[in-house]
Structure 1
């Protein structure tokens, strides 16, 4: 190793100052003053922080701070022989017990964490949502801007009518009616990404790959308890309405299934008893009083009383 390399490494990591490195008692006293009594352990090391600046490390015996160390930095001025205290802190070591890394609430929140009274804000640029049709971007019907726009639209329609025949444009009122019917008169609606993520989530919970669906006798597509959805999702999902099924009240895939299928095990109807046959030709005699010899005990005369020898 060359002398230049040795000098460069020595410049980057200078050796600890002798007087500062020997000031262990000063560093221990500072650590014991900052910590509680009896929690400063053995001296475990010393490192150089720069010219005439040294940090001493002491073991921390505080319960719950396994692997932490008391770090006391001391220094001295140039040409001075007195070492002074710089700072005292508690630092974690390589095997220290640390708290988990902080995670923002938006990444920490999980389904089912919300309770009564909780509010979950959505970001303005949430990729799950997109602007809906509210009609606010249209001018009022009787405003000057609306009259100008209608006049321009009439001129355009007249010019187009000379070239080709086309149906009349849809009015604002009919657009609003259709938007109301489709449930789009909202500030924001689900975007395509939001629809896809919801479909993936529902299919994972109640889809064809679940163990319940694999063992089902038939799919939900042919079940009478399936309530279809509206919109584009009705082609793949519905709501289960079987109170005894595992997915009652949940959105299920049409390929999902369970043992509660309406046609899985249809109970046979009980046999209908035959109607009573009444004989109206012959007449059966029914006496009003039973015969004397019809009972289980024969009718006999009372036997004479025997003398049993009693006085």
Structure 2
């Protein structure tokens, strides 16, 4: 459908717009005139179907301007624009936001920002192995000068983000595996406890037959490989019947 406009010159400029478009891109990729969209006083855009392979749903846009008192319109711009049914690339997502767990390959580097709020300088949070009751500041200064220890450690916000992510993940208490378990990880002999603030809620599974072996698990998590798991009588395999010695021969079978 071709829209109407109060500007008679623009309304009658479809042929001029097509001529300018064909001169720019070639007649083989220009389809029928679709509509005229007013853009303002004396300005309108004619849209033409695009027949270029690989661009279904796209439209050629030819913008024209008509100055008051002039007998014809002037072509301002020619562009190819996507229509409502056009196939377009997804919205651009910054590299930092595209990274997902497991995306890194050997040799890849994922740098952290200097102002990453998950990290704070070590002298603000400290490490237990680097602290000293008597001269904590001096020990840290020497360690930093010699290149020992860590420059930054997890901030309170960083620890909270990690704890929330672990607790809500597959190794948390709400996973389907944990919901079906009869025992929780806190009482399992295969649980290796962590050190530091996160040790209050998490440990590492060390059962090679468990789904979460070598993974951080919440104390409220659980699975069927608990160290104290016992089979109930009804879950035990059925006893094997006593063997029967078959002494029949083919001749005996024929007599029956």
> Shorter-chain TM-score category?
0.7 to 0.9
Contact 2:5 2:11 in 1 (8 A): no
- Tell me how far apart the structure 1 counterparts of residues 64 and 107 of structure 2 sit (CA, whole Å): 54
- Tell me how far apart the structure 2 counterparts of residues 121 and 97 of structure 1 sit (CA, whole Å): 34
- Tell me how far apart the structure 2 counterparts of residues 60 and 72 of structure 1 sit (CA, whole Å): 12
Q: What 5-or-longer segments of structure 2 have no aligned partner? A: 125-132, 232-256
Aligned match of 2:154: 190
Relative to structure 1, is the Cα distance of residues 75 and 172 closer, same or farther in structure 2, using a 3 angstrom cutoff? closer
Deviation at 1:188, TM superposition (A): 0.9
- Tell me how far apart the structure 1 counterparts of residues 106 and 121 of structure 2 sit (CA, whole Å): 28
- Tell me how far apart the structure 1 counterparts of residues 192 and 16 of structure 2 sit (CA, whole Å): 79
Question: Aligned match of 2:175 in 192, 206, 210?
Answer: 210
User: Bigger shift: 225-234 or 85-94?
Assistant: 85-94
SS in 2 for 1:133: helix
Question: Aligned match of 1:229 in 191, 194, 208?
Answer: 194
Larger radius of gyration: 1
Question: Aligned match of 1:264 in 190, 214, 229?
Answer: 229
Q: What 5-or-longer segments of structure 1 have no aligned partner? A: 1-13, 135-168, 267-311
Q: Number of residue pairs matched?
A: 215
Contact 2:181 2:223 in 1 (8 A): yes
- Tell me how far apart the structure 2 counterparts of residues 173 and 42 of structure 1 sit (CA, whole Å): 78
Aligned match of 1:255: 220
- The alignment's TM-score, normalised by the length of structure 1, stands at 0.61
- Tell me how far apart the structure 2 counterparts of residues 15 and 214 of structure 1 sit (CA, whole Å): 66
SS in 2 for 1:185: coil
- Tell me how far apart the structure 1 counterparts of residues 225 and 138 of structure 2 sit (CA, whole Å): 44
Note the 1:10-25 alignment, pairs <5 A.
Answer: 15-25=5-15
- Tell me how far apart the structure 2 counterparts of residues 176 and 55 of structure 1 sit (CA, whole Å): 68
- The alignment's TM-score, normalised by the length of structure 2, stands at 0.72
